[in-house]
Amino acid sequence: MRRGKIVNKLGILGILSLLTLSFNGCYKFEGDQTVPAYLKIDSINLETYYPDQGSDSHKITDVWAYLDDNLIGVFELPALFPVLARGKHKLQLKAGIKLNGISSTRVPYPFYLPINYEDFEFYEDSMQIPGNMVTTYYPGLTFAWMEDFEQSGLTIDETSISDTVIVRTREGAFITPTSKYSGVVHLTEDRPVYSAVSYDFYPMPKQGSPTMLELNYKTDNVFNAGLLIQEGNQIIKVPLVIMAHSPEWNKIYINLGPNLSLHPNASGFKVLIEAGLELGKQSATIYLDNIKMIYRSL
């Protein structure tokens, strides 16, 4: 039995005033129960097996809550929300992200395991904090490409149109216990174009297989991520997502699957990263780290 921590008994009027500030989901009470229990979830963390799964960096923004396999709602973290249940129930919590960095495309991340409580005990009119709010990657995923810039040999190749290169740096790097270096691109008026691809061509995932690109970045110049898809004798360029200015380290989850599925006859693909110095600027700097291209066969 896992019932979480009961912080205190709360009167219904008091908790409703808290919900005015923190309730971000949608939940309709049913049945004859009128006093709910309340769940408080501040954050969901990620644990990885390094180096096989790369960094544990994440941008989990939401929790998707399920009671007895039925969706209660989607709540932005930190969250405080009511659950109309008493006694023991199955509680499932999924880590939610903004797909392609867009707030309107919030989804449970398909590669993070749900956090399951088979016999979570709910207490009416109480605020409960579930324990062990940590997720991991699903087993059996393929981490086809990872670049964390910790090794001197990089798995990124500049294309023929690029007039600058990416180099390893400690200054301004994404620093964690497993990360001491990041990649940095300097754009100038003399060298205004950056264009690079993953070193290898990767085989096409099975049709419909979820395929994601994870990326940490910090930038004062827009840049974009896309694909180069090899189909017969053709190389097809597919732009995907434009990353806006971010003075602090940010993370994005880019959905590659739908665009790969549009090319069932393709033999392989590379990930493409491009940038051009913005008009009116004399220089710009783009930092990259913890690049992962992950897929799961159906």
- Percentages of the chain per state (helix, strand, coil), in multiples of 5: 5, 50, 45
Number of residues that make up the chain? 298
Q: Which residue has the tokens 């964390």?
A: 148
| Structure token pair of residue 131 | 């324990």
pLDDT at 10 (0 to 100): 43
- Residue 254, Cβ density class (10 Å: 0-12 exposed, 13-18 middle, ≥19 buried): buried
Q: Report the pLDDT value the prediction gives residue 207, as an integer from 0 to 100.
A: 86
**CA atoms of 196 and 8, how far apart (whole Å):** 55
The confidence score (pLDDT) of residue 14 equals 43
Check if the beta carbon of residue 36 is closer than 8 Å to that of residue 269: no
pTM: 0.90
| Residue 203 backbone phi and psi in degrees, to 5 | -65, 150
Q: Which pLDDT score, from 0 to 100, does residue 265 have? A: 94
Q: What is the pLDDT along the chain (298 residues), one digit of tens a residue?
A: 444 555 544 443 344 333 433 334 444 445 565 689 999 999 999 999 999 999 999 999 999 999 999 999 999 999 999 999 999 999 999 999 999 999 999 999 999 999 999 999 999 999 999 988 999 999 999 999 999 999 999 999 999 999 999 999 999 999 999 999 999 999 999 999 999 999 999 999 988 889 999 999 999 999 999 999 999 999 999 999 999 999 999 999 999 999 999 999 999 999 999 999 999 999 999 999 999 999 987 6
**Domain range 142-295, its CATH number among 2.60.120.200, 3.30.465.10, 3.40.630.30, 3.40.50.1820:** 2.60.120.200
pLDDT for the residue 297: 75
Distance CA 35, CA 52 (A): 47
Q: How many Cα atoms within 13 Å fall on the side-chain side of residue 157?
A: 10
Q: Where are the domains of the chain?
A: 5-136, 142-295
